[in-house]
Amino acid sequence: LVNDDEQYAVMRASLSAQSPGELEWLAQRPDETGLGATESLNIGLADAGGDWILCVHQDVIFPSGWWRTAVQQLEGWPGRVAVAGTVGVTSGGRFRGHILDAHGHACWGPLPARVASLDEHLLIIRRESELRFDPHTPGFHCYGADIALSARDAGFDVVALDAPVVHLSPGRLDD
């Protein structure tokens, strides 16, 4: 989801510099189209061609080695992961994840860990799961929890990885 081309360029460069091949980038611009976040992301999910699709905020920076670390954990997970991210909450209400953001550095282990929901600053979705975001989820928050719960309902695992990113947003929940 893009509304700041400078932030988007920095985010792209940080991931492109470490990926093993050419990445496919599908910027969705809800401010220009009038669509909501979930509708815009569903267009990206339908158009993307990879096995794993990253739905990532434009204000995320990928540290060196992130790609390799994330892929190793996804491939090494013993179950069928449909959705992964860097910060989530277990069904028991415990945080799991690892991130550096405007509030500081936080790591809630052990990681990787099965979680019930994920923060939407970065979501990695397995194409073959055929999951989509609920188009009725309003605004630009809580769609990570929704798709994670949908994945669990479909019998897939949802995982918080130990692959921290830098999220530049201080975060705030809209109405």
pLDDT at residue number 43: 94
The label of the residue with tokens 């096995």 reads: 51
- Mean pLDDT on 149-172: 91
Going by pLDDT thresholds of 50, 70 and 90, the confidence category of residue 172 is low
User: For the segment 126-151, what is each residue's pLDDT rounded down to a tens digit?
Assistant: 999 999 999 988 777 789 999 999 99
pLDDT at residue number 171: 63
Give the closest residue to 56 by CA, choosing from 91, 94, 95, 19. Answer: 19
pLDDT at residue number 107: 94
Give the closest residue to 70 by CA, choosing from 168, 164, 172. Answer: 164
Strands 87-89 and 95-101: antiparallel
Going by pLDDT thresholds of 50, 70 and 90, the confidence category of residue 80 is very high
Report the C-alpha gap between 34 and 172 in whole angstroms.
21
